[in-house]
C-alpha cells in the first residue's frame, strides 16, 4: 500500500529542490556565482517561505495525488500567483528594492512550468503502474453556469471612480482630469477587473449561507490590495499615487462588502418568509368537512416504545437520525416508562421546562443543542427539579473538540483561515473574563456558545447528574445523564483564568489553592468518574485525561500554573517544601496511615517526588512517607536536602508535572 503522507512530503521536497536549482541557475546567469548573498539571499528565504506556505494552504500536493490534472494545474497557478503577490509586498515594504523584477517573474514562471511538467509525468507514471492512491471523486452534479450581473458590475465600476474623485476633492479641494489621474484610474480598474474575473464577484449567488455569499467579495478585496502592491513594485509607482489608490480600494471594498452582506441577508429573510407563507397556503383545504360529533376514544398504549421515539424524532432533519434513535433507545430500553412520564422538547428556554410539574418525569429529551442555552447550570437544575430520582436527561451539543471542523464546514477555507483567530478570542476568551463576559452575552444572546466535553460533563456532575452513556455522532456529542445525587454546594467552581481549588490542608482543614486554570471549566467535578473509567497511569496521574487544555500541558511543563500558589505561601496555607495539597478524591486513594501522616504537616509548593522522581502511584506514596518520617526527625535539614535535589532534577533531568 502506497503511503500518501510520504508521497506528499516527497512532492514538497522535490518542489523545493526545483525552486533551489532554478534560483541558483538564474543567480549564476546574472552574477556569475551560484550562492546568493545580500538582498538576494533575503529574497531566497522569502520565496521559500511563501511558496511552501501557500502550496500547503491550497493543498497542492494532495491535489497532485488525488485530483484531476486540470484541477491541480489551477491550484498550482493560484498558489504561485498568491505567493508571488506576497513576495512582492514583502519586497515593497522592505529595503530589497534593488532586486530585479525580471528575475522574480522569470523564477516564478519557470518553477510553475516545471511543476506542471512534473505533474504530467507523475500522472503518467501512476497510470503506467496502474496504481491509484485515492479514487478520484467525480462531481455528481453539473455545475450551474453563473453569469455576471450587469446591475452589480456597472455600479461597482462607477462607485470606484466616484470614490476616487471624492477623495481627490477632499484632499485638494477640486478635481481636474490629468494624465496623473488617468494612470491611477487604469491601475485601479485593472486590479479591480482582474480580481473580479478571478473570484466570480458580481455573479449570481450559488451558495450555502452568508459566509459563502460574501466570500467572493472579501476574496476580491484582498486580491485587489495584493495586485495594487504588485503594480507598485513592478511599475515603480510613486508613493503619493499608491497611497491614494490603496485608500480608494480600501474604502470601496468596505462599502461594497457591507452593502452586499446586507443585501444577501435581506434576500434570505424574504425567501424564508415566502417559503413559510407558501407552506401555510399548501395546508389550506377548501373541501372542508364537518367534525363528527361523536367523540372517538381509542385505547392508548401505556408503555413508550421505540416506534414512538421514531415518530417523535422523524421531523428532525438529520442524516444521522437512525444512529441517534438507536443510541437513545439502546440506552433507555431497560428503563421503559409510561408515556405520561416521557417528554421530548426542542427548546433553548428554561421557561418551557418550568411549566412541568415537580418530580413528574422519568425521561426528558431536549433535541436543541446546549450551545444556544445561555445559563446552562440553571437549565440543568430546572430539569433536575422535574425529574424523579433516577430520571434521565438526554441532550446534545457541538463540543469544542468538534467546533473547528464544524466552523470550517460553514465557510470557505480562506475565510475560515482569516476568521478563526477572532472566533477563538471572542467565543473562547471573552466569556471567561469578567470584563468582557457581559459584552459577549449582549452581542450573542448566549447563542453558539463553545463548550468542551469536559465542561458539560462537569456541569452535569455539579448539578447532581451521573453520566450513563455518551456518543459522538459526526460533530455532535450526545449524552444520557441520570439524576443520581444531590446538587453540589461548591461556591467556586473553576471557570476563569485563575481558579480556587479545594484541597486538604494542615490538620485536615479545607483550604483553597490558587492556580492558573489548565483544565476546562468544571473539570474537577468529574475527577472521580474519570478515575473509575481510566484509573491512574504509572506516574500517578489519571490516564487519558481529556480535561487538560492544550495550553495547560505547556503551563504544567514549565510550572507556570503554579505561580498563583505563591499567594498561598505568603498567607501561610502552604510551605515552600512539602507534600502536594490534594483534592478529597486523591486524598481518599491514600492508605489511612499515610493520610494521618500527611495532615500532621503543611502541604508544600515543591513536593518531594521531584527529588525522588518515582514512576508509579505506589512509589509516590512511598516517597512521601519517607519524606514525612524524615521531616519529623529533622525538618529544616530534610527540607533543604529535598529542595536542592528537586531543583537539580527539574533543571538537569526535566522533572515535570503532567
The model's pLDDT over 217-274, given as tens digits with 9 standing for 90+, comes to 888 888 888 888 888 877 777 888 888 888 888 898 888 888 887 777 666 555 554 4
C-alpha to C-alpha distances, 286 to 162, 277, 283, 291, nearest whole angstrom? 57, 17, 10, 15
What percentage of the chain has pLDDT greater than the value 90?
28
For the segment 426-440, the average pLDDT, to the nearest whole number, is 81
pLDDT recorded at residue 298:
47
Q: What is residue 436's predicted lDDT score, i.e. its pLDDT?
A: 83
Q: Over the stretch 515-567, which tens digit does the pLDDT of each residue have?
A: 998 999 998 888 877 777 766 655 556 666 788 888 888 888 888 999 999 99
pLDDT tens, residue by residue, 435-445: 788 888 888 88
- The C-alpha cell that represents 74 in the structure block: 489551477
Average pLDDT, the chain: 82
pLDDT at 291 over 80: no
Whether the per-residue pLDDT at 477 is higher than 70: the answer is yes
Strand extents, DSSP E, 474-568:
476-483, 498-504, 510-516
Q: In this predicted structure, which of 56-60, 114-118, 123-127, 489-493 has the lowest mean pLDDT?
A: 123-127
Give the list of residues 6+ apart from residue 333 with CB closer than 8 angstroms, or none.
306
**What are the distances in angstroms from CA 462 to CA 37, 205, 368, 488?**
64, 48, 21, 5
The domains of the chain, with CATH numbers, are: 4-129 (no CATH), 150-264 (no CATH), 306-399+451-483 (3.40.50.150), 404-444 (no CATH), 498-652 (no CATH)
10 Å Cβ neighbour count for 424?
A: 15
Grid-cell match 471612480, residue found? 161
Length of the chain: 658
The residues pairing with 465 across neighbouring beta strands, listed in sequence order, are 483
Give CA–CA dist 173/170, Å, rounded: 6
pLDDT greater than 60 at residue 580: yes
Q: Does 305 have pLDDT greater than 60? A: yes
- Output 215 or 390, whichever has higher pLDDT: 390
Mean pLDDT, to the nearest integer, of 106-120? Answer: 91
The answer, yes or no, to whether residue 113 has pLDDT greater than 80, is yes
Instruction: Enter the pTM of the model.
Output: 0.61
Among 124-128, 175-179, 481-485, which stretch is predicted with the lowest mean pLDDT? 124-128
Helix/strand/coil (H/E/C) assignment for every residue in 291-355: CCCCCCCCCCCCECCHHHHHHHHCCCCCCCHHHHHHHHHHHHHHHCCEHHHEEEECCCCCHHHHC
DSSP characters over 86-146 = HHHHHHHTTT-TTS-HHHHHHHHHHHHHHHHHHHHHHHHHHHHHT--SSPPPPPSSPPPP-
Q: Of the given ranges (260-264, 367-371, 588-592), which has the lowest mean pLDDT? A: 260-264
Which of 228-232, 292-296, 447-451, 523-527 is the least confident region?
292-296
Grid coordinates in use for 508? 485536615
Residue 522 has a pLDDT of 92
Looking at residue 456, its pLDDT comes to: 95
pLDDT digits (tens, 9 = 90+) for 539-548: 556 666 788 8
Residue 61 cell numbers, joined: 500536493
Amino acid at each position: 500500500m502506497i503511503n500518501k503522507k510520504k508521497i506528499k512530503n516527497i512532492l514538497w521536497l522535490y518542489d523545493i529542490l526545483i525552486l533551489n536549482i532554478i534560483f541558483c541557475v538564474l543567480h549564476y546567469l546574472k552574477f556569475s556565482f551560484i550562492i546568493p548573498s545580500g538582498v538576494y539571499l533575503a529574497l531566497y528565504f522569502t520565496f521559500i517561505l511563501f511558496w511552501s506556505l501557500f502550496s500547503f494552504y491550497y493543498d497542492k500536493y494532495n491535489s497532485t495525488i488525488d485530483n484531476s490534472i486540470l484541477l491541480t494545474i489551477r491550484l498550482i497557478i493560484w498558489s504561485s500567483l498568491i505567493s508571488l503577490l506576497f513576495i512582492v509586498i514583502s519586497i515593497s515594504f522592505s529595503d530589497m528594492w534593488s532586486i530585479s523584477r525580471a528575475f522574480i517573474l522569470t523564477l516564478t514562471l519557470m518553477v510553475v512550468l516545471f511543476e506542471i511538467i512534473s505533474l504530467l509525468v507523475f500522472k503518467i507514471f501512476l497510470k503506467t503502474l496502474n496504481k491509484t492512491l485515492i479514487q478520484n471523486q467525480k462531481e455528481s452534479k453539473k455545475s450551474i453556469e453563473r453569469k455576471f450581473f450587469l446591475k452589480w458590475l456597472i455600479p461597482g465600476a462607477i462607485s470606484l471612480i466616484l470614490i476616487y474623485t471624492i477623495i481627490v476633492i477632499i484632499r485638494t479641494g477640486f478635481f481636474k482630469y490629468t494624465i496623473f489621474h488617468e494612470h491611477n484610474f487604469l491601475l485601479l480598474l485593472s486590479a479591480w477587473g482582474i480580481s473580479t474575473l478571478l473570484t466570480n464577484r458580481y455573479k449570481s449567488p450559488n451558495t450555502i449561507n452568508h459566509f459563502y455569499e460574501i466570500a467572493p467579495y472579501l476574496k476580491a478585496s484582498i486580491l485587489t490590495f495584493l495586485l495594487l502592491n504588485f503594480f507598485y513594485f513592478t511599475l515603480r509607482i510613486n508613493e503619493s499615487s499608491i497611497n491614494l489608490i490603496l485608500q480608494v480600494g480600501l474604502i470601496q471594498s468596505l462599502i461594497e462588502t457591507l452593502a452586499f452582506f446586507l443585501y444577501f441577508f435581506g434576500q434570505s429573510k424574504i425567501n424564508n418568509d415566502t417559503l413559510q407563507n407558501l407552506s401555510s397556503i399548501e395546508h389550506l383545504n377548501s373541501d372542508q368537512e364537518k367534525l363528527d360529533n361523536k367523540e372517538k376514544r381509542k385505547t392508548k398504549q401505556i408503555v413508550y416504545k421505540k416506534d414512538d421515539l421514531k415518530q417523535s424524532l422523524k421531523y428532525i432533519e438529520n442524516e444521522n437520525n437512525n444512529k441517534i434513535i438507536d443510541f437513545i433507545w439502546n440506552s433507555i430500553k431497560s428503563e421503559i416508562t409510561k408515556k405520561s412520564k416521557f417528554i421530548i422538547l426542542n427548546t433553548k428556554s428554561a421557561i418551557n421546562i418550568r411549566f412541568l410539574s415537580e418530580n413528574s418525569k422519568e425521561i426528558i429529551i431536549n433535541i436543541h443543542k446546549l450551545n444556544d442555552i445561555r445559563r446552562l447550570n440553571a437549565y440543568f437544575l430546572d430539569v433536575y427539579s422535574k425529574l424523579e430520582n433516577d430520571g434521565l436527561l438526554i441532550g446534545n451539543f457541538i463540543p469544542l473538540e468538534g467546533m473547528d471542523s464544524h466552523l470550517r464546514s460553514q465557510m470557505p477555507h480562506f475565510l475560515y483561515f482569516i476568521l478563526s483567530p477572532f472566533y477563538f478570542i471572542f467565543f473562547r476568551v471573552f466569556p471567561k473574563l469578567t470584563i468582557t463576559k457581559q459584552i459577549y452575552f449582549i452581542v450573542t444572546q448566549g447563542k453558539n456558545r463553545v463548550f468542551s466535553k469536559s465542561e458539560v460533563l462537569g456541569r452535569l456532575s455539579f448539578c447532581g447528574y451521573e453520566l450513563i452513556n455518551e456518543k459522538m455522532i459526526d460533530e455532535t456529542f450526545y449524552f444520557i445523564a441520570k439524576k443520581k445525587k444531590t446538587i453540589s454546594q461548591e461556591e467556586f467552581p473553576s471557570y476563569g483564568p485563575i481558579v480556587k481549588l479545594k484541597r486538604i490542608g494542615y490538620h485536615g482543614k479545607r483550604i483553597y489553592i490558587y492556580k492558573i486554570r489548565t483544565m476546562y471549566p468544571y473539570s474537577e467535578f468529574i475527577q472521580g468518574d474519570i478515575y473509575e473509567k481510566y484509573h491512574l497511569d504509572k506516574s500517578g496521574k489519571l490516564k487519558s485525561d481529556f480535561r487538560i487544555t492544550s495550553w495547560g500541558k505547556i503551563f504544567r511543563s514549565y510550572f507556570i500554573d503554579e505561580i498563583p500558589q505563591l499567594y498561598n505561601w505568603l498567607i501561610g496555607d502552604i510551605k515552600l517544601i512539602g507534600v502536594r495539597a490534594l483534592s478529597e478524591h486523591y486524598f481518599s486513594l491514600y492508605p489511612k496511615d499515610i493520610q494521618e501522616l500527611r495532615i500532621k504537616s503543611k502541604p508544600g509548593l515543591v513536593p518531594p517526588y521531584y527529588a525522588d522522581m518515582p514512576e508509579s502511584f505506589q512509589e509516590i506514596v512511598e516517597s512521601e512517607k519517607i519524606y514525612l518520617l524524615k521531616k519529623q526527625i529533622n525538618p529544616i535539614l530534610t527540607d533543604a536536602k529535598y529542595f536542592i535535589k528537586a531543583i537539580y532534577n527539574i533543571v538537569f533531568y526535566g522533572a515535570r508535572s503532567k
